[in-house]
Amino acid sequence: MPHLTTGRALETADRTATVTDPHSDKPVLVIGNSYRAFEVIPGHLDDAARQAFTHGQCHAFARALSAATGWPAVALLTEDCHGNDSMCLGGRGAHCPCRIGHLVCLRPDGAHVDINGAHQPLQVPSCANALSLPMTAELWSAIDTSPAWREPNMPVAVSMVAPLLTSLIGDVPHRCEVRA
């Protein structure tokens, strides 16, 4: 139980941390899967940021990217239902929220975009061949209320959108516009 207590304390600290200067070189804690703490410098797209927003904070990044671009968020589904969500269908449904393994945004050209860049469908690292499901209000609610998902660190996620989009220059279709 000490791990859970420590994890909850870390998550509370993460939730109350604010990004006062997105161009600061001061790292902040971002809490990922299993309460793993990542030291992330807001606005710096580096390995720590990629790890944090791939392992436990992909939902925050998908929300931030979707808000900035208008690209819809999409859930990548795992093969197995893990039974750890209040909306779990006990393996009876193909769209069980327990099967959400990663969240990405769907670019107009069909690419799946996450903190690591743009990927062809069915080729997202660690989610190869994963079926995708458009995020709905019901699925977002399941994520927001499930203890299996970390509290989203939106200030840091938002600070990562511009660096990611900059890294995609030349890869972003001309018909896509970024919302200010």
Q: What string of pLDDT tens digits covers the 180 residues of the chain?
A: 333 334 444 444 444 444 545 556 899 999 998 899 999 999 999 999 999 999 999 999 999 999 999 999 999 988 766 555 555 655 555 566 677 889 999 999 999 999 999 999 888 988 888 888 999 998 898 888 888 788 999 999 999 999 999 999 876 443 444 444
Residue 117 lies in a domain: yes
Backbone angle region of 65, left / alpha / beta, with phi > 0 → left and psi within -120 to 50 → alpha: alpha
Residue 174 lies in a domain: no
Residue 179 lies in a domain: no
Distance of CA 18 to the CA centre of its chain: 18
Structural domain of 28 = 2-167
Residue 142 lies in a domain: yes
What phi and psi, each to the nearest 5 degrees, are found at residue 134?
-60, 140
For the entire predicted model, the pTM comes to 0.80
Among candidates 14, 22, 15, 21, which has minimal Cα distance to 44? 22
Q: Looking at the 3D structure of the chain, how many domains does it have? A: 1
Residue 48 lies in a domain: yes
Among candidates 72, 90, 60, which has minimal Cα distance to 156? 60
SS3 at position 65: helix
Residue 180 lies in a domain: no
Residue 16 lies in a domain: yes
pLDDT of residue 90: 54
Specify the amino acid at residue 171.
Answer: D
pLDDT of residue 13: 47
Residue 86 lies in a domain: yes
